[in-house]
Structure formats: C-alpha cells, structure tokens
Structure 1
Amino acid sequence: MNQDTAQSHPTRSHCAVVTGGARNIGQATALRLQQDGYHVIVVDIVEPEADSLKAEARQVDLADADATRRVMEEIAAHHTVTRLVNNVGIVAPALIEEARLEDFDKLMHLNVCSALVCTQALLPSMQASGMGRIVLNTSRVVLGKEGRTIYSATKGALQSMARTWALELAEHSITVNCVAPGPIATSAFWQNNPPDSERARRIIDNIPLSRMGQPEDVAQAISFFCDERSGFITGQTLFVCGGVTVG
C-alpha cells in the first residue's frame, strides 16, 4: 500500500508527541490523535487532566532545553515517533511601551526554542521511519494584534522556521505545517479577556461565524495535517479563526 492510499487510522506503533498537551488546545489535540489511532505522549510541565493521557505523560519544563532534550531522546529510544505537535506556548500581553526584555527571553525559550529542541530530538525517529508529520501551533496574531509585540514575534518565528524545515525535510517525506488559531475559548483567552468584559464582547462580535472557536476546532486542523494522506502539503499555515482573517 503506498502512502497516498494508506489507511486513515495508523497502527499503534506510530507515536505522536504533543507538547503542552495537558490543557486546552493541547489536550484537545492529544485526545483527537488518540481517537485517530496514535499512541500519544503528552509532554508538559503539569499532569494532563484527561485520564487517558496520564499514564504515558512526561512532566518537564519545556523552557529548559537540556531537560526537554533528555525527555525527548528517552521517548525516541522507546517509541517510533512519526508525529510531533509543537503546541506549547504562553502569552505576555503588553503594549510596546510596556514590553519587557525578560518576557521576550521567557517566551522565546518556551514558545520557539522548545520547538527546535523537540524537533531535533525526534527527527531521527521520523527519518528512520521514512516519513513524519510536524505541526506547529502558531496564531493569527502574526497578522497583527495590539498588545502582542512579544507573543506575535515568537509565533512569527515559528512560522518562518516551519517554512525552512519544510524545505529541508521534504526529501525524508516529513511535512511541516502550522495551524494558526484565532479566538479560541481557552483558559488563557478568558484570563486575558474576561467573559463579561467589553473587550471580550467586541472580539466575539467581530468573528464572522459569530461564536468563539473551541479547542476541538484546532485539533481538527492538526489532525488533518498529521494524517498519512496529507503528505503533499507542507510549509503551509492554516488559520482556524472563524473568518477573522478574511478581508
């Protein structure tokens, strides 16, 4: 059976690693990939909320490059990893006058450097398998959003890296794509935009589909990019935004 006609549900030997998979979009993604038939390992600083993700989860501060590399190499030594979702990320909202260099360093280490470390550690497994799927969770803020100087810089860096990786890894049948969520109902969103605030109301009113996105909406897009049959799509960014980026 060739790659283009392979079954949609992989065998359990295909392992998917999801960083920041204990909560919100990461958890929805990990659960969806379990449903898709992958053996899923969540790597996060906290224990997953979902029972089905707890047994294989690894707890590590993904901003610690050395500790992250050790965890990823340990996973690769025991599993055939063919899917990697670089999902972990935090936001440090601030207008340009208030943006702090210490926050820039913090977000770059967690949002960007962790993606590089994880990808480097798991690449040999994908190369040995003759295929792989790498998905990076970015954001629609790469198109511009007030108060997101540092966050947008990190997400833009991820998208730029993804395009470079797509070219470098194509010869190994490893695809690299980005999913860029718009307004998604996560704990981080509500923390930065309280549900009863005018700001939250304004954001929702500006969504063409007239609703907040759910973590499962993003997981659907990530699942698509991870699919065996999505092998001719690489270096792309898919906005999951309810139409916010249109026009």
Structure 2
Amino acid sequence: MMPTGDVVARLRAAGCVFAEDEARLLIAAATETGADLAELVAQRVSGTPLEYLLGWTEFHGMRVAVVPGVFVPRQRTAFLVDEAADLARAMPTHPIVVDICCGSGALGLALAKTLAAEGRPIELAATDIEPTAVECARRNLTPIGAPVYEGDLFEPLPCELCGRINILLANTPYVPSEMISRMPPEARDHEPRTALDGGPDGLDIFRRVVAAARTWLAPGGHLLVESTEAQAMPSIGILTAHGFTGRSAESDQLYSTVVIGTKPDA
C-alpha cells in the first residue's frame, strides 16, 4: 500500500485543497473494500469525485450512498431539509412527503431520519428520471420503506398521492445552460447534465414542477426548491402566478437559498 505521505503529496499536487483528509478517506476505503489504493489515488488525481471513489457522502449528519453518474448532494442543501423539517413539525398529522428529482434520495432520507428521531414518522416516496439515480436512491430509501419511482417528475407517482402530498422536496436543476461549462470539472464532467442544466435562466424545470404541483399538493401543502439568491424573486413570481403563496429563506452559514411555495388551504 502506498505510504500516507505519498498519497497526500499526490493529492496536493493535483490541487486537492483537503489533501490530508482525502488521503485518510481513500486509505480507509482501500482497507475496508480491498480496492487498490494506487488506483483510487490515480482516479482522484484525474478528477473523479471523491464521493464516487468512496461510494458514499456525508449529508445532514449521515452517510448517503452515491455511485458514479449520480448527482452528489451538496452540503448547502441541508438547509432545505431543515426548512422542510420545521414545516413538518407544525403539521398535526404525519405528513406525506415526496422527493422529486431525488438523485441519491439524500433529501428524503435526511428528512425522514431527522423526524423519526423525534418520534415523527413520515410517509415518503421519491422519483427521478435517471435509471442510475433510481437504483442508487433505492439503496438509500428501501431500508426505511420508501418507494422510488422511475420517470419524469410526477409522472410515475401512484394516482392515490394526487392532492395528498403535504411536503414536496424538489432539488431541481437550476444552473443556466450557458454556465455549465464554467462549473468545476468534478460536476461538469462526471454528474449527469439532467441534474445540473436548468435551461436558459435555470428555471425551466422549476416552472414545470410548479405548474403540476398544485394538483399534487394537499391544501396547505408546501413545495421547497433550492435556488440561487438571484433566482429567488423570479421563482416567487412563478409561484404567485400559479396561485401559491411564495417566500424565500436564506442561510448565511451554508450559503443557501430555498424558495417555498404554499398551496392555499381551500
């Protein structure tokens, strides 16, 4: 096995800012799985995301399985989970939650486990259009009894959920198309474009979600979507045009903006 110092040196030379931490994780992964450490280091140096090499990422205080070709959940998205948890706590009954564009299923998993630890179970389902993401999400969500459906946005959901969803998590792609080329290579070259590209202004998928969400949400239900600060006001305008009450929430600590639309009670 490569000496730790050599691993750190190679990672640092490749521009890895947290070379010592990454070296520790790669050495542990090689030890636990029997993988060739030199090959793991070579892949990392070539630009493969660390999470793909480890097979997991830490999100909202838990390990979430990830595989190559699946969007890696960002730490800033933990704020969306916290906002959803606050809304769920205010509900008198156990909420029905759906995570669309779910990727690895990290958002739904984190919300379910956070509330379960407080004795607040939820009914959870998830969807994604990418087969690799669906397979990965099932690894994360099947153990907690949550089904994952393959298809475009709401299309694969069972009809009995229509009009009954209390919380809709939608980490839709919101990077403007022309900005994809400026993203870090780890995301641009390895994650699916469908998980990144939000169209000319970054809001194409958001518009589609909002247009259908009113049918699927229960009265008083909430839609939560991650956004940029600049997109927040246009997003609220889209929500308002479809009959939602819209607002935004921000976390300075996580550099995160979440747009929340609430369906009228009647």
Point out the structure with the larger strand share.
2
Question: Which structure is higher in RCO with an 8 Å CA cutoff and minimum separation 6?
Answer: 1
Question: Greater CA radius of gyration, 1 or 2?
Answer: 2
TM-score by length of 1: 0.44
TM-score, with normalisation over the residues of structure 2? 0.41
